[in-house]
Homo-oligomer: A and B are copies of this chain.
Amino acid sequence: MNSAIKTPVYRILDSHSLVSLLDGLDAVRPQLGGRMEEWNVREVGDGNLNQVFIVEGPTGSVCVKQALPYVRAAGPSWPMPPERAFFERSYYQWVAPHVGAAVPRVHHYDPELFCIVMERLSPHIILRQGLIAGRRYPLVARDVGAFIARACFFTSDFGLPLERKMRGVAQFAGNTPLMRITVDLVFADPYVASPRNRHTSPQLDEIVADLRRDGPLKVAACRFGRKFLNEPQALLHGDLHSGSVMVTAEDSRVIDPEFAFFGPIGFDLGAFLGNLLLSWYSQPGHATAGDDRCAHQAWILDQADAFWQAFRETFLALWNSGAAAGDAFPPALFGAGEEAAALEAARSAFVDEMFADMLGYAACKMIRRILGFAHVLDFDGIADAGRRAQCESGALAMARLLLTQPRQFSAMRDVLDAVPRQAR
């Protein structure tokens, strides 16, 4: 697999070669309509890893995502096998039957060019951009919560017999280059001086130095890092931040699952929650004379709550329904009455564990976006460094509290109460 990029077949697509490729695909040509000369191609990739094209024809459009053989954000000096496109496509295959249209439809996958031709989402925008602009999407938090519940339940030992699940574990165990990114950039680099790191300097220098001397904090990050590699509870998206969700007022779609692997469900939950919290802390940096963003902040915290409740309700409803066809907690072992009550309590306890994981992973994700390699536009879009540092330091304080005082947070209410306090 790893030598595939050296074969002459793989080439980095440009507008011209892309159009030729699509013209040869019976599954795609009719979507675009007309003749290839009439098709318009734009490169729109803004992520860290790939190139993304929008191709428009007379009758429709498609999106094409090609994995590059290096990290786009770093350039060819940081090689990265393009096989991640295979795992992205495989993730869609695994979850699509369970999440309906919450993921884009895949029209074609090219295993040699490592590119996916898929549904173009329009007029959707990236949720992160909407949040920065102060827009509200009434459905997205509940939609993403329910999405994670369904995608994870049906790929876990609650939803699958072990034979099926182990096939998945084996398949996605091949996605190590992307796991390596997470292990290094999320769980290690931010806690030491590394040339890949950056932070708002000198404003945060002291806070950062202090954080990097915090033994209990680093132990907590390491615990979640070890867990990331050691608990294949379900097939995860692996990078489910607000840049991996596209929205309109009526629709929510999850994209970019190239980091997919079998891991702890709290990791996907934490990615989304952590990025909601980053958005909350960044809001003062986007305030204008006409909008202090306080109402937007309140709305964001409501979304954090709605997100968790939707996940919790959906997951438990699936578990209580006939959908539990896996080997974990086989319902046939439990009779009525006290036995059923014991099972009910166990389910509730398992959901509480996912809650605790969510908070830990949210905190890890928040820290890495402020001290690590890849930052977020929520903060980077704040031009004034002093203002930006103030927003970031609030988020860091909250993340440290989540990691070092987990017992203070037994319910979402505790989180919602603590956030404004940490902002000072």
Contacts and interface: CB of A to CB of B under 8 A. Distances in A.
Contacts of A162: 176, 179-180, 183, 229
Contacts of A135: none
A284 B223 CA distance: 45
A382 interface: no
A309 to B, nearest CB: 24
Interface string A183-195: 1000010011000
A38 to B, nearest CB: 46
Interface string A325-347: 00111101111001111110110
A171 B216 CA distance: 35
A407 to B, nearest CB: 15
Nearest to A343: B219
Nearest to A164: B176
Contact of A225 (B232, B327, B334, B343): B327
A166 B179 CA distance: 10
Contacts of A167: 173
A271 to B, nearest CB: 19
Interface in A302-359: 327-330, 332-335, 338-343, 345-346
Interface in A175-224: 176, 179-180, 183, 188, 191-192, 213, 215-216, 218-219, 222-223
A233 interface: yes
Contacts of A340: 215
A222 B173 contact: no
A169 interface: yes
Nearest to A222: B329
A258 interface: no
A341 B229 CA distance: 24
A226 B340 CA distance: 18
A241 interface: no
Given A333-B218, A334-B215, A226 B328 contact: yes
- Which are the 9 A-B pairs with shortest beta-carbon distances? A215-B342, A170-B173, A215-B339, A226-B328, A170-B170, A166-B173, A219-B346, A222-B329, A163-B176
